[in-house]
Structure 1
């Protein structure tokens, strides 16, 4: 496909970076758990689901498990919210295979992280994303997470990547708000900026970001949806600050632990458990679990699994 044939989709609101629910022994993807996640998240005002990212433990899943999780999330969403499937892999061939599958499964878009072991050059990166553009005609969200990939593009390079491929948006998990702002203010005509750094969510929305991909939204979806509606839609910064005072300590906690493990622990605490994380990640220590439960209660969230 050429970039001219890409079906554009404007993503707005908070999209939840979702976990991959696993069976109790961690050996298989849990279909019932995925349905439980979708109902909990969408039912509480979140406007999209992003499976297959870091929160979804994609590096521990086989290609078949990744495909299965995408299929199940699309089915569970049942048209209620867009699904942006994480399809990045270490090889171009696997990334294309997963992206083609995601489109056939009904995903609205795909989220692709650069290969994360041997960091590609910019020319290699353009070829990598160009191969996806040739094979599919749904939008691509670039997953910017330089701490994991070693790839740090300039704002100008990111805009060029969008012009030359089917990249239409990017999730920024870099934590550099000045860089995020430069893309948002100077290159909005080429690419849509989505915040993906939890503790910068309020700042990003207040500065005009139209959407965010947020793992915390899987655990406390109503509070996260309320924050978006207050800040991004109504421009009510006072109400937003009140909400943010409840949400921020939770985000700060999650960023200080293994993220997927923290989110899965939170889901168990609020009564929508998603099974264990895959090894080598171990469960949160009891004292950290108790701390997390306390933060949820302080935010007015009912805790049922402490």
Structure 2
């Protein structure tokens, strides 16, 4: 397996005109650069499901421009396989190092359809792939057997795991045996009992050094500190990304705490 890593699921900073703010992106990346291994723009913390094509590409390009020597994984949150593939090819052309994406957004999607979704994107691009396992956005969740099947694809190299049911260490080791780097996706699991290959959590936008410290398991004081901050920053709220933006604006890291309006809203 690779060395333990921290990837930041970046928030998407906006200026007063609700355009992506380059100076804020640059400063956000500079604040975390000493502590992290890479960045994931346009994932859920970046309101990825709300981004129109132009804004999605702009955020990816700005991240690539200011990431210096860090890895950039393009987050893709689109409803259908065809849309995911379209954005994967855009990411490939832009120079992303890898992509991370969810299942199709359709409750009732079968496990076979989820596997085929990943296989089609894998076979149509040359990029490395990361699984994003969640259910809140897509409306479905991958079974453990489905994760193993996806992990058999040659260029699927990692997983951000935000399961609705607790993961066991034995399951993690089986995923790692398939060649997947396992990244914890929930703040409340950091520094607790699970050994992993790193973490991908929204808290890294605010406290990258602490997330680096929390990369190892069974650190009670660190886990308790993260639990306290999780409550203080309200990261359990439905709009946790907005809470992160409020704190980053208060610290002077980003220029506004604006969020994207839902598509179709006034």
TM-score w.r.t. length of structure 2? 0.88
Number of aligned residue pairs: give it.
259
Give the equivalent residue in structure 2 for 1:72.
62
Q: Which residue is equivalent to 1:226? A: 213
2:197 corresponding residue in structure 1 = 210
Which residue of structure 2 aligns with residue 20 of structure 1?
12
Q: Conserved in 1, the CA contact under 8 Å of 2:106 and 2:140?
A: no
The aligned counterpart of 2:23 is: 32
**1:180 to partner: Cα distance:** 5.0
CA contact (8 A) 2:6 2:198 kept: yes
Q: For the Cα contact (< 8 Å) 1:126–1:165, is it kept in 2?
A: no
8 Å CA contact 2:160–2:185 kept in 1: the answer is yes
Is the contact made by 1:19 and 1:274 (CA closer than 8 Å) also made in structure 2?
A: no
**Is contact 1:71-1:102 (8 Å) kept?**
no
Answering whether residue 122 of structure 2 is matched by residue 133 of structure 1, we say: yes
1:101-250 → structure 2 map (5 Å cutoff): 101-164=90-153, 166-177=155-166, 179-190=167-178, 191-203=180-192, 206-228=193-215, 231=216, 237=218, 240-250=219-229
In structure 2, what is the equivalent of residue 285 of structure 1? none
Please report how far the alpha carbon of residue 218 of structure 1 lies from its aligned counterpart in structure 2 after TM superposition: 0.5
Q: Which runs of 5+ in 1 are unaligned?
A: 1-8, 282-306
Counterpart of 1:100 in structure 2 is 89
Alignment check: 8 A CA contact 1:88 1:112 kept: yes
Higher helix share: 1
Work out the CA distance in 1 between the residues paired with 2:191 and 2:10: 20
SS of the residue corresponding to residue 177 of structure 2 reads coil
The one of 211, 225, 240 equivalent to 1:259 is 240
* C-alpha distance in 1 between matches for 2:159 and 2:211: 20
Mapped to 2, the partners of 1:158 and 1:101 lie a distance apart of 25
Q: Which 5+ residue runs of structure 2 have no aligned equivalent?
A: none
**Deviation of 1:46 (Å):** 1.7
Q: SS of the residue aligned with 1:159?
A: helix
- Over the aligned positions, Cα root-mean-square deviation in angstroms equals 2.2
Q: Is the 8 A contact 1:53 1:86 kept in 2?
A: yes
SS in 2 for 1:176: coil
Contact 1:264–1:274 (CA under 8 A) maintained in structure 2? no
Q: 1:180 to 1:57 in 2, by over 3 A?
A: farther
TM-superposed CA distance for 1:155, in Å, is 1.4
Aligned residue number for residue 284 of structure 1: none
Tell me how far 1:280 sits from its aligned partner. 5.0
Q: Is the 8 A contact 1:184 1:193 kept in 2?
A: yes
Q: Which whole-Å CA distance do the structure 1 matches of 2:53 and 2:181 have between them?
A: 29
After TM superposition, where is structure 1 displaced by more than 6 Å over at least 4 residues in a row?
none
C-alpha deviation, 1:270, in angstroms? 2.4
Q: Which has the larger radius of gyration?
A: 1
Q: Hey, what does 1:290 align to over in structure 2?
A: none
1:89 deviates by 0.9
From the superposition, tell whether residues 119 and 55 of structure 1 become closer, same or farther in structure 2 (CA, over 3 Å).
farther
CA distance in 1, matches of 2:78, 2:238: 24
